[in-house]
């Protein structure tokens, strides 16, 4: 179904103020945002409006009880200047799974996609053309009822805003296997992209940084033996040519990059195993000399290589970058899809038509 979206383009455009060669991550926002309000059991007042602050009631339930979920995705420009999205429907579906867990309403997939496409078409000039750069997209939903008391809200707001980001070339990261704090347990909210998960992860991340590590490697909350994720990424290990990633078990976020990587690797004939991954297996592989690569996966970095992992008294040091093949290969593959240079054999890439708004 086609929704009626009111478009208010405003009068000012800030794009000429931006130095696209030097974009600070997460601080620059494009001209417009898509907004929809939920009340009386339906999404209403669908609109594109100039990106701006808005008012929120001090008793808005999201501020107190944390009904707040989000997504993170990217639009890119192909080598010949066409705006591209990669697997946007997967983000819509994950948002709705997060909504289920947090007792929030679904955003219908066609509403999500129409709002997204309209916004990207209008702000297509904000997609940086430089290779590796992208327009970061932040869809999110939060509770709006003005009420003190713990129950699900009956009103919500859904917003999509965007902002250009430069190429992300993280240096290999060092990890501290967590032995005190947990990110998520089975039955908790780890599989949802719920705002509170990120608030709860700040202290352990700070403690790890104070100890000299870049990020936390999250372990299961029962024994601190089974590996879950790293920072805000999923994690992959290459042991003796085989790629292993922890099976999603209810506590791990089902990363869309993770799923894409598994798909690409299997298609290329690699052996990929999803299973509960015990840290002892990684330590044993390290001592046997068969631990070849460790990398995190996520929308922002695509692939972030790991330099070392501290687990209790054992320091696991990974081989130099020149010896790592698989992480670099999948990153190149995904970057190639996002720039339109690699054949889209899985039908993951969608071009956003902009001609609709060229004279609007």
Contacts with ligand PLP by CB under 6 A lie at 72, 229, 232-234, 253, 255-258, 297-299
Q: Look at strands 302-311 and 291-298 and give their pairing.
A: antiparallel
> Are 158 and 196 in contact, with CB atoms under 8 Å apart?
no
Taking the complex as a whole, the smallest distance from the CB of residue 53 to ligand PLP amounts, in Å, to: 25
Q: Which is nearer to ligand PLP, 13 or 329 (CB)?
A: 329
Taking the complex as a whole, the smallest distance from the CB of residue 64 to ligand PLP amounts, in Å, to: 23
Taking the complex as a whole, the smallest distance from the CB of residue 236 to ligand PLP amounts, in Å, to: 12
Q: Which is nearer to ligand PLP, 153 or 232 (CB)?
A: 232
Phi first, then psi, for residue 197 (nearest 5°) are -60, -35
Q: Which is nearer to ligand PLP, 162 or 257 (CB)?
A: 257
Taking the complex as a whole, the smallest distance from the CB of residue 188 to ligand PLP amounts, in Å, to: 12
| Long-range pairs, 192-195, Cβ under 8 A, ≥24 | 192/69, 192/97, 192/98, 192/101, 192/102, 193/69, 193/70, 193/71, 193/72, 193/94, 193/95, 193/98, 193/253, 194/66, 194/68, 194/69, 194/98, 194/101, 194/102, 195/66, 195/68, 195/69, 195/70, 195/142
Where do we find the tokens 């590590």? 213
Q: Which is nearer to ligand PLP, 122 or 205 (CB)?
A: 205
Q: Which is nearer to ligand PLP, 144 or 233 (CB)?
A: 233
Taking the complex as a whole, the smallest distance from the CB of residue 72 to ligand PLP amounts, in Å, to: 5
CA angle 324, 215, 132 (to 5 degrees): 55
**How many Cβ atoms sit within 10 Å of the Cβ of residue 103?**
11
Tokens of 31: 């001209």
| Three-class secondary structure of residue 43 per DSSP | strand
Taking the complex as a whole, the smallest distance from the CB of residue 253 to ligand PLP amounts, in Å, to: 4
Q: Which is nearer to ligand PLP, 48 or 227 (CB)?
A: 227
**What does the longest C-alpha to C-alpha distance in the chain come to?**
64
Q: Which is nearer to ligand PLP, 61 or 256 (CB)?
A: 256
Q: Which is nearer to ligand PLP, 118 or 232 (CB)?
A: 232
Question: Which sign, positive or negative, has the C-alpha torsion 60, 64, 65, 66?
Answer: positive
> Are 336 and 342 in contact, with CB atoms under 8 Å apart?
yes
> Are 114 and 356 in contact, with CB atoms under 8 Å apart?
no
Taking the complex as a whole, the smallest distance from the CB of residue 232 to ligand PLP amounts, in Å, to: 4
Taking the complex as a whole, the smallest distance from the CB of residue 238 to ligand PLP amounts, in Å, to: 18
**How many Cβ atoms sit within 10 Å of the Cβ of residue 200?**
16
**How many Cβ atoms sit within 10 Å of the Cβ of residue 129?**
12
Cα–Cα distance for residue pair 218/231, rounded to 1 Å = 7
> Are 83 and 177 in contact, with CB atoms under 8 Å apart?
no
Taking the complex as a whole, the smallest distance from the CB of residue 104 to ligand PLP amounts, in Å, to: 18
Q: Which is nearer to ligand PLP, 9 or 93 (CB)?
A: 93
Q: Which is nearer to ligand PLP, 88 or 105 (CB)?
A: 88
Taking the complex as a whole, the smallest distance from the CB of residue 46 to ligand PLP amounts, in Å, to: 25
């Amino acid at each position: 179904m086609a929704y009626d979206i009111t478009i208010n383009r405003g009068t000012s455009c800030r794009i000429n103020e931006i130095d696209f060669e030097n974009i600070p991550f997460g601080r620059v926002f494009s001209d417009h945002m898509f907004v929809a309000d939920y009340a009386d059991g339906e999404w209403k007042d669908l609109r594109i409006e100039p990106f701006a602050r808005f008012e929120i009631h001090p008793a808005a339930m999201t501020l107190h009880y944390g009904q707040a979920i989000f997504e993170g995705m990217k639009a890119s420009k192909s080598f010949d200047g066409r705006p591209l999205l990669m697997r946007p429907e997967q983000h819509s579906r994950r948002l709705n799974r997060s909504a289920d867990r947090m007792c929030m309403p679904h955003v219908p997939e066609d509403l999500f996609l129409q709002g997204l496409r309209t916004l990207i078409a209008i702000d297509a000039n904000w997609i940086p053309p430089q290779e590796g750069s992208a327009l970061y997209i932040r869809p999110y939903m939060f509770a709006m009822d003005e009420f003190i008391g713990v129950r699900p809200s009956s009103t919500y707001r859904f917003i999509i805003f965007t902002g250009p980001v430069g190429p992300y070339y993280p240096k290999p990261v060092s990890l501290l296997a967590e032995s005190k704090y947990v990110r998520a347990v089975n039955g908790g909210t780890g599989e949802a992209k719920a705002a509170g998960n990120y608030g709860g992860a700040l202290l352990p991340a700070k403690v790890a940084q104070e100890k000299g590590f870049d990020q936390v490697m999250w372990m299961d909350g029962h024994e601190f033996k089974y590996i879950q994720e790293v920072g805000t990424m999923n994690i992959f290990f290459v042991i003796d040519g085989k790629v292993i990633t922890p099976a999603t078990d209810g506590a791990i976020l089902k990363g869309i990059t993770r799923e894409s990587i598994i798909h690409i690797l299997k298609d290329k004939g690699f052996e990929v195993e999803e299973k509960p991954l015990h840290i002892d297996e990684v330590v044993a592989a390290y001592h046997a000399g068969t631990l070849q690569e460790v990398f995190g996966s996520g929308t922002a970095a695509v692939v972030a290589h790991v330099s070392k992992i501290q687990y209790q008294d054992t320091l696991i040091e990974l081989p130099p970058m020149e010896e790592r093949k698989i992480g670099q290969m999948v990153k190149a593959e995904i970057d190639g899809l996002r720039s339109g240079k690699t054949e889209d054999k899985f039908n993951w890439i969608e071009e956003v038509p902009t001609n609709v708004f060229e004279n609007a």
